[in-house]
Amino acid sequence: MSPLVATVFLALFVTGFGFLLVFVASILGPKTNQSKVKKMAYECGLTSDGADRSKIPVKFYLTAILFILFDIEIIFLYPWAVAYQDYVSEGAGWFIFSSMFVFVLIFIFGLFWEIKSNALEWE
Amino acid sequence: MDAMYIGIEIIKMVVIFLLMVQLVPILVWIERRGSAFIQNRFGPNRVGPLGLVQLLADAVKFAFKEEFIPGGSYKFLFLLAPVVALIPGVLAFAAIPLGAPFSLEPFEMFGNTWGPYDLKLQGYDYGIGIVFVLGVSSLAAYSLLMAGWGSANKYSLFGALRASAQMISYELGLGLSLVGILLLYGTFSFNEMIAIQDGPLTFMFMGKETIIPFLPNWGIFYQPLGAILFFVSVFAESNRLPFDLPEAEAELVAGYHTEYGGLKMNMFYIGEYGHMMVASALMATFYFGGYNLPFVTPEAINEMFTGMGFAFNGASLMTTLVSHLILMTKVFLFLWIFIWVRWTLPRFRYDQLMDLGWKTILPWALANTVITAFVVVLMRGA
């Protein structure tokens, strides 16, 4: 069985199991009259104020963008790392090291610029 | 590839899933007893021997809880989130080899001859095992966001935002801390990594092969810093204390699962414990020799059982079981560290958490990568 088929099978099985649990929970529990007050959002007993889904600090958005940039840079390192030993055993060790070292220098420069420009300061 | 083989594969997959789900109540029990002993209390000790049946009783109670869906919530997202929470842990766990392969001689059943089979004790074997596990386990952020956005509760929303920001931040450190071990092993496949870690500590020093006979050839001896950074990052990934800001109960009630109860909340817990199990199994596979004992190969175990008079199938089965138990021992050691740390350390502040991820773990992991690459070239004398 190819791994892809197996993965899809397992994912479908787990999803089915999960929906079964949700369904079982919905039929087994006691049915009571859920009043409007009971259905209110639980915010420490106070009446919920303002919109349900309030505005989100833009900080999280910035973090997500920075994450995507850095994650792509890390993904570039993976094939390099796996091919590294082959290059070293063929005597091209310093070539493969220095070629990625330039990239890592840019990576480090980006990280320090990001820290310097206070993009990572949280209150 | 015949009907019997496909049947065995499907059963294997279901067994791996059930193994993971069944470990959760045991872990909850260990966590409650362990925390009780750490805090000089008793913990659950009334229901059954050592309180073991307590978890069964809890599970039944969860199933019979009243269903509650808050008004103003997106019902579909609200119900989908716990289901999605289950998936990443299970998919990642099934990609990790849980024991030595199990070989079957041809055998007769249902009037046909089946086999021979070579069964791996893992759901599916991707050549790019690590990339698959990292990719799948980062899907967990979706379930948290769904739960937070679907609940129509400000605490849930902020818990979900914190959780996802934290997960993606520590994913960088997690991914980068593994580059060092990839440089040394030169493969993405878990099985090849475990094979590499056989035997005594062997490395090239100035172009000469050096052997340290009393130490096993484990990744931890090559990559101590990488192992520590990886372990810290997986703590944050699984939202455990000291990184459990998403559900900081003093500020956010319970974070993204504030509005959940009963079985649905339990499914989030299965997801969280699943993450811990995947993290522990990865630690064992990358840095502690996987399912092998130091200096003992699966072939040696197999020979021992053949010498004890087992047939081919029996010896192979015993080898698989023994190697599985070895892996599980290592996994439980790391799970115990997870629990131990949870009841020892206080929670970070959010800015401290982000600082640790971006300004400490990320630069150190980068330095680890560069130094490892440098040392590999230097040692190999190229």
List, for residues A48-103, the tens digit of each pLDDT value. 666 667 778 888 888 888 888 888 888 888 999 898 888 888 888 888 888 888 98
List, for residues B166-212, the tens digit of each pLDDT value. 888 888 888 999 998 998 888 888 888 888 888 788 777 766 777 88
- In the predicted model, is pLDDT for residue A41 greater than 80? no
Alpha helix ranges (H) inside chain B? 3-38, 54-63, 75-94, 129-137, 140-150, 154-177, 179-185, 190-196, 219-222, 224-237, 249-252, 262-287, 298-307, 312-342, 350-355, 362-380
- % of chain B at pLDDT higher than 70: 96
List, for residues B318-370, the tens digit of each pLDDT value. 888 888 899 999 999 999 999 898 888 888 888 888 888 888 899 999 999 99
* Domain positions in chain B: 69-380
List, for residues B267-296, the tens digit of each pLDDT value. 888 888 888 999 999 999 999 888 888 888
Given an 8 Å threshold on Cβ–Cβ distance, is A26 in contact with B67?
yes
Query: What integer best gives the mean pLDDT of chain B?
Result: 84
Angle at B304 between CA B299 and CA B190, to 5 degrees: 30
Residue B246 banded pLDDT, cuts 50, 70, 90: low
DSSP string, B109-120: ETTEEE--EEE-
Number of A/B CB contacts below 8 angstroms equals: 213
pLDDT value at residue A73: 87
Residue B208, strand partner residues = B205
Contacts with B60 from chain A: Cβ below 8 Å: none
Contacts with A82 from chain B: Cβ below 8 Å: 182, 186-188
Nearest to A6 among B9, B165, B351 (CB): B9
List, for residues B218-244, the tens digit of each pLDDT value. 888 888 999 999 999 988 888 777 777
> C-alpha distances in angstroms, B46 versus B31, B33, B52, B55?
16, 12, 9, 11
Scanning B16-55 for CB atoms below 8 A from A yields 17
pLDDT value at residue B282: 92
What pTM did the predictor assign?
A: 0.89
Given an 8 Å threshold on Cβ–Cβ distance, is A22 in contact with B370?
no
Contacts with B374 from chain A: Cβ below 8 Å: 97
- In the predicted model, is pLDDT for residue B55 greater than 70? yes
Q: How far is A93 from chain B (nearest CA, A)?
A: 6
Given an 8 Å threshold on Cβ–Cβ distance, is A67 in contact with B168?
yes
Straight-line distance from the first to the last Cα atom of chain B, in angstroms, rounded to the nearest whole number: 45
Q: Which residue in chain B is spatially nearest to A16 when comparing CA positions?
A: B83
Given an 8 Å threshold on Cβ–Cβ distance, is A84 in contact with B87?
no
* Domain positions in chain A: 3-116
Candidate CATH numbers 1.20.1600.10, 1.20.58.1610, 3.30.160.110, 1.10.3720.10; the one for domain A3-116: 1.20.58.1610
Q: Which residues of B7-44 are buried (b: 16+ CB within 10 A; e: fewer)?
A: ebbeebbeebbeebbebbbebbbbbbbbebeeeeeebb
Residue B162 banded pLDDT, cuts 50, 70, 90: confident
